[in-house]
């Protein structure tokens, strides 16, 4: 009996330590299916496969950056990845982005290769533009010939966990368009863009993991209170339309979202205005 009690105390102490490390950002939690691994900064920095990488145009900093980083695929070795799932990256501020598994497991440098950049406490990174904090301690960056094709919201920083989840359309049916819509309908293209670029910060019909911005369909959809030109401008550069305390929504340049892609997102939003959940 005493042995069982001691084992329980040790287990609870270990769990408390993991929670504390995750809360203050010193630990990255990786959960694949039923298996969970924890990585501290010191452990990742001391790995033999951690190396110095240079990013010509870093998304978070908007300039060339150099990091110590480990290939994300190496952290996934030995784990069984569920088919038709995504890897959800959650940040300490509530940002949550969905990363396709074929993207994060790729190690072919002719395509995009995911790395986990680790901030060394002895050599802290600079503060992010217009912020008081850095992108650390864990930041997903991309190298390889296809890195430029990775969407801006798929470069999450201040990451605290990476977890396999069902694909968004299956996990959150409230995002769905009418099944009768043709596969080539622009609304479907807008839905895909919305999931990648907007759901990292917003919910829609209460569907989503992020808690940074408001729900974009409840109680009202932006297409119901924005003039079309103002909504386009708001997505392109929110600060050019209005200011508010703790403004977090970034501007999206043409490299991140083209005018056509913004129009597709707005088309999806307008379509979903008539599909509110009750």
What domains are defined for the chain?
18-166 (3.90.420.10), 170-272 (2.60.40.420)
pLDDT computed for residue 10 by the predictor: 41
Burial of 113: CB neighbours in 10 Å, binned 0-12, 13-18, 19+: buried
Using an 8 Å Cβ cutoff, are 72 and 63 in contact? no
Q: What is the pLDDT along the chain (278 residues), one digit of tens a residue?
A: 544 544 443 434 444 444 444 444 589 999 999 999 999 999 999 999 999 999 999 999 999 999 999 999 999 999 999 988 999 999 999 999 999 999 999 999 999 999 999 999 999 999 999 889 999 999 999 999 999 999 999 999 999 999 999 999 999 999 999 999 999 999 999 999 999 999 999 999 999 999 899 999 999 999 999 999 999 999 999 999 988 777 788 899 998 899 999 999 999 999 999 999 98
Can you count the helices (H) and strands (E) in the chain? 9, 9
pTM comes to 0.86
> pLDDT value at position 92?
95
How high is the pLDDT of residue 25?
Answer: 54
φ, ψ at 165 (rounded to 5°): -140, 160
Positive or negative CA dihedral for 7, 13, 17, 23? positive
Reduced to 3 states (helix: H, G, I; strand: E, B; else coil), residue 163 is strand
Closest CA to 45 of 70, 66, 77: 70
- What 150-155 contacts at long range (C-beta under 8 Å, 24+ apart), as own/partner pairs, is 150/103, 150/112, 151/196, 151/197, 151/256, 152/59, 152/197, 152/250, 152/252, 152/256, 152/257, 153/97, 153/196, 153/197, 153/198, 153/200, 153/201, 154/97, 154/99, 154/103, 154/196, 155/58, 155/59, 155/60
């Amino acid at each position: 009996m005493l042995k069982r009690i001691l084992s329980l105390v040790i287990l609870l102490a270990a769990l408390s330590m993991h929670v504390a490390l995750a809360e203050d950002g010193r630990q990255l939690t990786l959960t694949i299916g039923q298996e969970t691994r924890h990585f501290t900064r010191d452990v990742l920095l001391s790995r033999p496969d951690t190396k110095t990488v240079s990013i010509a145009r870093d998304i978070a900093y908007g300039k060339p950056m150099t990091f110590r980083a480990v290939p994300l695929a190496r952290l996934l070795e030995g784990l069984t990845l569920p088919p038709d799932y995504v890897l959800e990256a959650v940040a300490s501020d509530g940002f949550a982005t969905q990363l396709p598994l074929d993207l994060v497991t790729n190690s072919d440098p002719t395509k995009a290769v995911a790395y986990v950049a680790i901030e060394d406490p002895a050599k802290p990174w600079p503060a992010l533009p217009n912020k008081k904090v850095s992108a650390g301690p864990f930041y997903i960056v991309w190298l390889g010939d296809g890195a430029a094709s990775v969407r801006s919201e798929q470069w999450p920083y201040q990451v605290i966990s990476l977890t396999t989840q069902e694909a968004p359309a299956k996990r959150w049916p409230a995002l769905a368009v009418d099944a009768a819509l043709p596969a080539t309908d622009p609304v479907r293209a807008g839905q895909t863009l919305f999931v990648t670029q907007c759901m990292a910060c917003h919910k829609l019909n209460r569907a989503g993991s992020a808690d940074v911005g408001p729900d974009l369909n409840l109680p009202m959809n932006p297409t119901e209170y924005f003039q079309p030109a103002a909504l386009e401008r708001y997505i392109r550069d929110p600060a050019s339309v209005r200011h508010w305390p703790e403004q977090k929504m970034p501007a999206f340049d043409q490299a991140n979202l083209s005018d056509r892609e913004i129009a597709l997102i707005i088309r999806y939003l307008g379509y979903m205005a008539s599909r509110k959940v009750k």
